[in-house]
């Protein structure tokens, strides 16, 4: 038996799924039905294209097939009379190219509606907009497949029963809802970039999905600077992906990363988005973070990093109400600019206000500065606190390694003296 | 779609009966009801008497148990409702934002169950 020639279907899936689902949601006003028939159309394609060859316009073929499936299903469900006239009419006309972008945006806004929990928004977006399977999403978020399936079913039920619209919001609502969409895309990215509870530090496929979503969004709504800021942030952060962990899966500090292996293409794309993200008044938080990422990725070495610029961006973030984590990052940058003692004083001021005591990055940042100041026993205690609060296995191993290395150095020093 | 806007609030919070603040708020309620009614989308709506007037009824072990007051432990009680025909949830959120008590109470949007 010859192997199934699935490659053209696979290629079409990535390219056509978002548009297909978006168009079907517009026709059917039912996300669950739209996804089901889109899935069936791809299964049909896997069977038919092998025999008949790939059609000239795969997208149009898939849409026609999916619409026919929808008509069959509605007939069975006796919702025929309600919706069939519009659908039959839709099935007759070719997909008008210019409305597809709007359909995709409308679908995305529906999936990221604030009446859904953020977990549901993320899952729906990955399923309906990015076309990931339930299994893939479950693996990415390290939850059992049944849990993710239940989450998706519940979310789709809420969408239908509550009448969550698939529409591009107008006027003032647009800004609020765009913020929600950005939050979902960024949540997908950060989950991929540094999972909080998983055994693997970088789950790259989620980063790829987020970058694809951010860049698609920026392309569909080019006048929204926040979207370019988000795309820039994801790209400039992800450009360092290959160097963030070593061959044993251990994290590598930015200072020690092999900069020649950073992804130049992503850096260029990120910088190009950053140029289009100029603020129209208020600074978008994504853009500010993207500027910091840009300073890092364009610095030839750690020592030659423009720390002054980074501290200045953190100052703007603090002016805009940035919290203690911003202060922590600013302190770390300040330590590079003015020395570890200055940075440490800033960290101690956070501790004096009772802030970040349960945040492992606070303790690991403190440990590194104390180490540079030769205050070894305090550094060891700080590493221990960091290990205590750290949720990520590989980061905890790394912290333990730093701790043990320092202990060994100290023992060596004591022995030598 | 048909929706209910359920208006919850703590009776001790917000304008109290017989005060000028309440008179001002009543004017807002009338204006809201009028605006909603003018669209032809209002299917109904009422304000409820305070929870001090409420009675609850349950049948347990075959016996009817009638009690004073609501059985809910929450401080927020249902104070009134509107029934509205709307295209989608965003339209309902826009109506909810105009409810005079939304600044200190809670407005819950519930789709009406359809049995056909």
Asked whether residue A1 carries a pLDDT value surpassing 60, the answer given is no
Q: What is the mean pLDDT of residues A150-179?
A: 90
Total structural domains within chain B? 1
Q: Are A210 and A132 in contact (CB under 8 A)?
A: no
- The predicted pLDDT at position A50 comes to 84
B116 inside domain: no
- The predicted pLDDT at position A361 comes to 92
Does B1 contact chain A (CB < 8 Å)?
A: yes
B38 inside domain: yes
Give the model confidence (pLDDT) of B18-51 as tens digits. Answer: 899 999 999 999 999 999 999 999 999 999 998 8
Does B89 contact chain A (CB < 8 Å)?
A: yes
Any idea what the CATH number is for the domain that residue A65 is in?
Answer: 1.10.1740
- Show the domain range for B83: 2-111
- The predicted pLDDT at position A4 comes to 42
Percent of chain A topping pLDDT 90: 47
Q: For residue A95, how far is the Cα from the chain centroid? A: 30
Q: Are A363 and A386 in contact (CB under 8 A)?
A: yes
- The predicted pLDDT at position A92 comes to 60
B56 inside domain: yes
A190 inside domain: no
Task: Name the closest residue on chain A to residue B92, using Cα atoms.
Answer: A163
In angstroms, the separation between the Cα of residue B29 and the nearest Cα of chain A is: 24
- The predicted pLDDT at position A33 comes to 87
Give the model confidence (pLDDT) of A81-117 as tens digits. Answer: 565 566 666 666 555 555 557 888 899 999 999 999 9
Q: What is the mean pLDDT of residues A241-266?
A: 88
**Residue B66 class from Cβ within 10 Å (0-12 exposed, 13-18 middle, 19+ buried)?**
exposed
Determine which of B88, B108, B111 to mutate to test the interface with A (most A C-beta atoms within 10 Å). Answer: B88
B10 inside domain: yes
Domain limit, last residue, from A53, A69, A95 = A95
On the CB side of A233, how many CA atoms lie within 13 Å of its CA? 26
Strand order in the sheet with B77-85: B42-47, B77-85, B2-9, B106-111
A398 inside domain: yes
- The predicted pLDDT at position A2 comes to 40
Determine which of B2, B89, B92, B114 to mutate to test the interface with A (most A C-beta atoms within 10 Å). Answer: B89
Q: How do strand B55-60 and strand B63-68 relate by DSSP bridges?
A: antiparallel
In angstroms, the separation between the Cα of residue B94 and the nearest Cα of chain A is: 10
pTM for the predicted model, two decimal places: 0.77
In angstroms, the separation between the Cα of residue B111 and the nearest Cα of chain A is: 6
Average pLDDT, chain A: 85
Asked whether residue A3 carries a pLDDT value surpassing 50, the answer given is no
Domain limit, last residue, from A95, A129, A155 = A95
Give the model confidence (pLDDT) of A271-290 as tens digits. Answer: 999 988 876 556 788 999 99
A268 inside domain: no
Asked whether residue A5 carries a pLDDT value surpassing 50, the answer given is no
Cβ pair B89:A113 closer than 8 A: yes
B34 inside domain: yes
Does A115 contact chain B (CB < 8 Å)?
A: yes
Does B65 contact chain A (CB < 8 Å)?
A: no
Q: What is the mean pLDDT of residues A324-340?
A: 95
Asked whether residue A417 carries a pLDDT value surpassing 70, the answer given is no
A233 inside domain: no
- The predicted pLDDT at position A313 comes to 94
- Show the domain range for A61: 1-95
CA–CA gap between residue A49 and residue A42 (Å, rounded): 10
Total structural domains within chain A? 2
Residues of chain B contacting residue A115, judged by C-beta atoms under 8 Å apart: 89, 93
Any idea what the CATH number is for the domain that residue A370 is in?
Answer: 1.20.58
Cβ pair B86:A163 closer than 8 A: yes
Asked whether residue A196 carries a pLDDT value surpassing 50, the answer given is no
Structure tokens at A246: 């070593």
Q: Are A407 and A387 in contact (CB under 8 A)?
A: no
Which residues, other chains included, contact A320 with Cβ-Cβ below 8 Å and sequence gap of 6+?
A282, A283, A285
Residues of chain B contacting residue A162, judged by C-beta atoms under 8 Å apart: 89, 109, 111
Q: What is the mean pLDDT of residues A45-72?
A: 87
Any idea what the CATH number is for the domain that residue B48 is in?
Answer: 3.30.70.1060
Domain limit, last residue, from A64, A95, A126 = A95
Task: Name the closest residue on chain B to residue A170, using Cα atoms.
Answer: B90
- The predicted pLDDT at position A197 comes to 46
Asked whether residue A142 carries a pLDDT value surpassing 80, the answer given is no
Residues of chain A contacting residue B109, judged by C-beta atoms under 8 Å apart: 162
Residues of chain B contacting residue A165, judged by C-beta atoms under 8 Å apart: 87-90
More reliable by pLDDT, A246 or A96: A246
B103 inside domain: yes
A153 inside domain: no
Lowest mean pLDDT among A29-38, A279-288, A300-309, A324-333: A279-288
Structure tokens at A136: 């893939």
Cβ pair A169:B90 closer than 8 A: yes
A392 inside domain: yes
């Amino acid at each position: 038996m010859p192997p199934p020639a699935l490659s053209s279907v696979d290629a079409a899936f990535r390219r056509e799924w978002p548009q297909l689902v978006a168009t079907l949601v517009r026709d059917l006003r039912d996300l669950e039905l739209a996804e089901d028939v889109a899935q069936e159309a791809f299964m049909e394609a896997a069977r038919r294209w092998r025999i008949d060859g790939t059609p000239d316009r795969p997208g149009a073929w898939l849409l026609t097939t999916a619409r026919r499936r929808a008509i069959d299903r509605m007939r069975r469900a006796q919702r025929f009379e309600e919706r069939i006239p519009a659908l039959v009419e839709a099935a007759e006309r070719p997909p008008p190219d210019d409305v597809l972008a709007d359909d995709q945006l409308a679908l995305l806004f529906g999936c990221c509606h604030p009446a859904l929990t953020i977990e549901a928004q993320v899952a729906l977006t990955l399923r309906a907009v990015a076309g990931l399977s339930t299994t893939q999403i479950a693996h990415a978020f390290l939850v059992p497949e049944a849990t993710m399936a239940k989450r998706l079913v519940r979310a789709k039920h809420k969408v239908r029963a509550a009448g969550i619209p698939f529409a591009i919001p107008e006027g003032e609502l647009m800004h609020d809802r765009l913020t929600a969409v950005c939050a979902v895309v960024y949540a997908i990215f950060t989950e991929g970039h540094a999972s909080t509870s998983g055994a693997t530090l970088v789950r790259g496929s989620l980063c790829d999905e987020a970058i694809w979503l951010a860049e698609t969004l920026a392309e569909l709504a080019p006048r929204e600077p926040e979207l370019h800021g988000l795309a820039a942030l994801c790209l400039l952060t992800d450009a360092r992906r290959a160097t963030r962990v070593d061959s044993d899966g251990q994290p590598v500090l930015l200072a020690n990363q092999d900069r020649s292996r950073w992804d130049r293409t992503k850096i260029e794309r990120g910088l190009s988005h950053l140029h289009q993200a100029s603020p129209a008044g208020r600074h978008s938080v994504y853009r500010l973070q993207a500027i910091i990422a840009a300073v890092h990725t364009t610095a030839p070495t750690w020592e030659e990093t423009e720390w002054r610029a980074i501290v200045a961006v953190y100052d703007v973030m603090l002016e805009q109400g940035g919290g203690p984590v911003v202060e922590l990052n600013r302190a770390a940058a300040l330590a590079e600019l003015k020395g570890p003692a200055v940075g440490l004083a800033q960290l101690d001021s956070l501790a004096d206000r009772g802030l970040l005591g349960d945040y492992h990055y606070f303790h690991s940042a403190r440990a590194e500065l104390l180490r540079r100041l030769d205050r070894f026993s305090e550094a060891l205690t700080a590493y221990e606190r960091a290990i205590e609060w750290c949720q990520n296995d590989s980061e905890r191993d790394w912290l333990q390694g730093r701790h043990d290395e320092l202990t060994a150095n100290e023992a060596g020093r004591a022995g030598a003296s | 779609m048909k929706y209910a806007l359920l208006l919850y609030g703590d009776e001790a919070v917000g304008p109290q009966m017989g005060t000028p603040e309440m008179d001002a708020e009543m004017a807002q309620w009338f204006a809201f009801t009028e605006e909603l009614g003018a669209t032809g989308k209002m299917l109904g709506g009422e304000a409820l008497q305070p929870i001090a007037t409420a009675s609850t009824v349950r049948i347990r072990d075959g016996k009817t148990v009638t009690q004073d007051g609501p059985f809910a432990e929450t401080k927020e009680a249902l104070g009134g409702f509107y029934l509205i025909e709307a295209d989608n949830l965003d339209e309902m959120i826009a109506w909810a934002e105009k409810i005079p008590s939304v600044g200190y109470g809670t407005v819950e949007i519930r789709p009406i169950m359809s049995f056909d």
